Structure 1
Amino acid sequence: MITMKDIVREGHPTLREKAAEVVLPATEQDRQILASLIQYVQNSQDPEIANKYGLRSGVGLAAPQIGVSKRMIAVQVHDDNNELLSYALFNPRIMSHSVEKAYLIAGEGCLSVDRDVPGYVHRYARVTVKGTTLDGKEVKLRLKGLPAIVFQHEIDHLNGIMFYDHIDSQNPFQALEGATPIER
């Protein structure tokens, strides 16, 4: 089971590397790593388990965040219709995206960042993501709103990009014209 001590913090070199593709079909070791990522996210959202093990709540986790430079992410988040989206993916990639941008009003956070970084992180309002599930099925997800933002945040980790790299250092709360503000 992944705990907070397993999550590497900003400054760790793995967070700035471009992660390697996972060779499919995945090895048992890679399947176990991916399963542990989604298990952490699920456990962190269960108040009883999170409290018992001292887990910081999160909606996503990428393999580089536990020091594994491979293209694997786990996301569990509710969409605009309060449907629970829960995915653990090998080699996720953004196939297409909207021109429109969106941002979280409260800003973004990260399990690998132990400080508040104020500012808007502009991301695509809609994305189509393809990836391979734990059981080897290829999925294509059309995402918008919060789920689209979370998937982009996690895929950024696979490319060595931190959320605060997107914040305008001169004017962190400058919203892009036409960008949609999203409440969490």
Structure 2
Amino acid sequence: MITMEDIIRDGHPSLRKVAAEVSMPPSEEDKQILSSLLEYVINSQTPEKQAQFGLRPGIGLAAPQINVLKRMIAVHLTDDTGILYSYALFNPKIISHSVEKAYLEAGEGCLSVDRVIPGYVPRHARITVKGTTLYGEEVKLRLKGIASICFQHEIDHLNGVMFYDYINHEDPLKPIAGAKAIER
């Protein structure tokens, strides 16, 4: 089981590296790692488990955040319409995206970043992601709102990109022209 001690922190060189594709079919070790990423995210949203294991709540986690440089992410969140997005994916890839932008009004956070970094992070309002599940199924997900933002954040980790790289450092809270503000 992954704990907060397993999550590497901002400044660690692995967070700036590009992760390698996972060979298909995945090894048992890769399946176990991916499964444990999802388990962490689910457990981190349960107050009892947070207290029991000292977990910081999160809605997504990528393998590079536990110092495994492989293309694996886990996401577990419910959007504003009540739809649950619970996915553990090998080799997720954004295959299309909208021109329209969106951002979280409250800004983004990250389990690898121990401080609040104020600022709006411009993201694509809608994306389509392809990946392979733990069970070897190819999935194609059309995402918008918080789910779209979360998947983009996690896929960025696979490419060595941190959320704050996108913030306008001159004026972090300047509204993003034409972008949709999303509450969380």
The aligned residue for residue 121 of structure 1 is 121
Q: Where has structure 1 moved over 2 Å in runs of 4 or more?
A: none
Aligned positions of 1:1-184 closer than 5 A = 1-184=1-184
Partners of 1:162 and 1:62 lie apart in 2 by 12
Q: What SS class does the counterpart of residue 43 from structure 1 fall into?
A: helix
Instruction: For 1:36, give the aligned amino acid.
Output: S
Q: Which runs of 5+ in 2 are unaligned?
A: none
Distance in 1 (alpha carbons) for counterparts of 2:81 and 2:108: 21
List runs of 5+ in structure 1 lacking aligned partners. Answer: none
Deviations 1:91-124 (A, max 9, x none): 0000000000000000000000000000000100
| Cα deviation digits, residues 110-144 of structure 1 (max 9, x gap) | 00000000000010000000000000000000000
Q: 1:120 is paired with a residue of what secondary structure? A: coil
How far apart in 2 are the matches of 1:171 and 1:82?
Answer: 33
Identity of aligned residues (%): 67
Equivalent-residue separation in structure 2 for 1:177 and 1:112 (angstroms): 29
How many Å apart are 1:18 and its aligned residue? 0.4
TM-score by length of 1: 0.99
Distance 2:57 2:26 in 1: 28
C-alpha separation in 2, matches of 1:46 and 1:79 = 17
Cα distance in 1, alignment partners of residues 139 and 62 from structure 2: 18
SS in 2 for 1:135: coil
